[in-house]
């Protein structure tokens, strides 16, 4: 490994940053209930502190995604949040408007048949875009729970037009530094038809919205057996890939830890990115790498550290592919050799090399060990347990 672990890969790791989500540090659950954790974050302060801990030990998670309704209220001063993040050693990353939980959105937000509700959703998104400007954040990430549950429930073409219009209105509000990311999802919570069901729809909406809109690929938002790396390759080729929400899945949008089920798939996605750079004189595409996971069973900060470590490993493995040899094999139709080129890189143990990179950057060789030895979770648990008591918050598991 050590002779393969070139300066080039070290430089790649220096540039590989992955954003963690504020919602991944708070208590979450399934529709059947929640298993509360004493160390789970109570407020934005805790979330930023946890994200700071993840960055402290991994050195690759400098930004935190925020969800507007979950992290801000009318009394929140954005400059204070930025300052808080700075004190925690991180910065505010993508802004996620929330037009899916308020009761008005029962029939949708941008797709709602009622213009007043569409305007309410638009207003919230515009407010989120402005919040992004105040927080000096670049990505505005749009995900919609919109869709219908029953055939005939609404006019599908009309819903499309409503979306096109609202997305164009959002785009008009962007500053020149901002990027609008359009996320797709094939089903859930809508089960008959989703208004942005796949990458093609997201692509079309983004194209129509304006030049600063791109597609966001959430790895959990695909049907089983979908070839995600092909979607990535196509979006790269069209210069329309804006970012990722990383997680793993087995059945649906399971929010499992990246690479826990199918690490080879994430590796293959990364090979498309390295291959793009290889074909473009070493120029890497400008992509926002973000995690979208809520761990219900694992300790949350630990799971986020594990995620960042896995992301680094798979990114580096994919960088080790001999792309010149691969091109030659592809050109000559040597299928077995081409496939072996990928498999050889995937089979390489890159962990010692990454540990060495950490050491060179003043980090512990093993971020999880550093985190555990610090006693961070125990301290957070006792502090937050006490605060919950003082605030009168109870943590009884509820089952629906």
- Tell me which residues touch ligand PSV (CB under 6 A): 23, 96, 143, 183, 185, 218, 245, 253, 292
Beta-ladder partners of 345: none
- Kindly write out the interface string for residues 200-229 of this chain, putting x where it contacts Mn ion by CB under 5 A and - elsewhere: ------------------x-----------
CA distance 158 to 111: 8
- The CB-of-143 to Mn ion minimum distance in angstroms stands at 6
Long-range Cβ pairs for the range 224-233 (8 Å, 24+): 224/251, 228/265, 228/268, 228/269, 229/265, 229/268, 229/269, 229/271, 229/272, 231/199, 232/269, 232/272, 232/273, 233/272, 233/275, 233/276
Q: Is the Cβ of residue 28 or residue 377 nearer to ligand PSV in the bound state?
A: 28
Of Mn ion, ligand PSV, none, which one sits near residue 253, judging by CB under 5 to 8 A according to partner kind?
A: ligand PSV
Q: Is the Cβ of residue 93 or residue 353 nearer to ligand PSV in the bound state?
A: 93
Q: Is the Cβ of residue 105 or residue 376 nearer to Mn ion in the bound state?
A: 105
Dihedrals phi, psi of 392, to nearest 5 degrees: 75, 25
Q: Is 302 one of the binding residues for Mn ion (CB under 5 A)?
A: no
Q: Is 245 one of the binding residues for Mn ion (CB under 5 A)?
A: yes
Q: Is the Cβ of residue 249 or residue 329 nearer to ligand PSV in the bound state?
A: 249
User: What are the distances in angstroms from CA 347 to CA 10, 60, 316, 324?
Assistant: 19, 23, 12, 19
- The CB-of-190 to ligand PSV minimum distance in angstroms stands at 12
Q: Is 255 one of the binding residues for Mn ion (CB under 5 A)?
A: no
Q: Is the Cβ of residue 99 or residue 319 nearer to Mn ion in the bound state?
A: 99
- The CB-of-146 to ligand PSV minimum distance in angstroms stands at 12
Number of continuous H segments (helices) and E segments (strands) in the chain: 15, 12
Of ligand PSV, Mn ion, none, which one sits near residue 268, judging by CB under 5 to 8 A according to partner kind?
A: none
Q: Which two tokens stand for residue 121?
A: 């959703």
Q: Is the Cβ of residue 181 or residue 345 nearer to Mn ion in the bound state?
A: 181
Interaxial angle between packed helices 44-58 and 300-319, expressed in degrees from 0 to 180 and rounded to the nearest 10: 40
Of ligand PSV, Mn ion, none, which one sits near residue 96, judging by CB under 5 to 8 A according to partner kind?
A: ligand PSV
Q: Which two tokens stand for residue 105?
A: 């959105």
110 within 8 A of 144, measured Cβ to Cβ: yes
- The CB-of-216 to ligand PSV minimum distance in angstroms stands at 8
């Amino acid at each position: 490994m050590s002779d393969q672990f070139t300066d080039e890969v070290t430089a790649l790791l220096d540039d590989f940053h992955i954003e963690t989500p504020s919602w991944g540090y708070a208590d979450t659950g399934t529709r059947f209930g929640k298993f509360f954790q004493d160390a789970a974050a109570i407020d934005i302060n805790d979330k930023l502190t946890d994200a700071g801990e993840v960055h402290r030990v991994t050195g690759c998670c400098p930004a935190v995604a925020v969800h507007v309704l979950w992290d801000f209220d009318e009394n929140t001063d954005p400059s204070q949040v930025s300052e808080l993040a700075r004190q925690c050693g991180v910065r505010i990353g993508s802004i996620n408007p929330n037009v899916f939980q308020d009761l008005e959105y029962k029939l949708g937000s941008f797709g709602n048949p009622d213009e007043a509700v569409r305007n309410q959703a638009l207003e919230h998104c515009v407010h989120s875009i402005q919040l992004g400007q105040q927080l000096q954040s670049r990505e505005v990430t749009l995900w919609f729970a919109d869709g219908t549950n029953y055939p005939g429930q609404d006019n599908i073409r009309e819903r499309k037009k409503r979306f096109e219009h609202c997305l164009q209105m959002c785009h008009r509000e962007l500053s020149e530094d901002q990027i609008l990311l359009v996320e797709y999802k094939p089903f859930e919570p809508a089960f008959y038809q989703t208004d942005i069901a796949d990458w093609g729809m997201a692509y079309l909406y983004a194209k129509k919205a304006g030049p600063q809109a791109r597609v966001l690929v959430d790895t959990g938002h695909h049907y089983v057996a979908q070839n995600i790396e092909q979607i990535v390759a196509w979006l790269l080729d069209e210069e329309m890939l804006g970012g990722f929400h990383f997680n793993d899945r087995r059945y649906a949008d399971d929010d499992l830890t990246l690479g826990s089920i199918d690490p080879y798939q994430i590796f293959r996605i990364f090979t498309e990115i390295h291959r793009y750079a290889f074909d473009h004189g070493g120029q890497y595409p400008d992509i926002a790498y973000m995690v979208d996971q809520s761990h219900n069973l694992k300790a949350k900060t630990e799971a986020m550290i594990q995620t960042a470590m896995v992301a680094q490993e798979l990114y580096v493995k994919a960088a080790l592919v001999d792309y010149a040899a691969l091109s030659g094999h592809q050109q000559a139709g040597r299928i077995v050799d081409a496939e072996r080129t990928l498999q050889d890189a995937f089979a390489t143990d890159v962990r010692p090399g990454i540990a060495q990179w950490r050491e060179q950057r003043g980090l512990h060789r093993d971020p999880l060990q550093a985190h555990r030895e610090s006693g961070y979770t125990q301290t957070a648990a006792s502090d937050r347990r006490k605060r919950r008591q003082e605030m009168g918050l109870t943590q009884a598991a509820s089952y629906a």
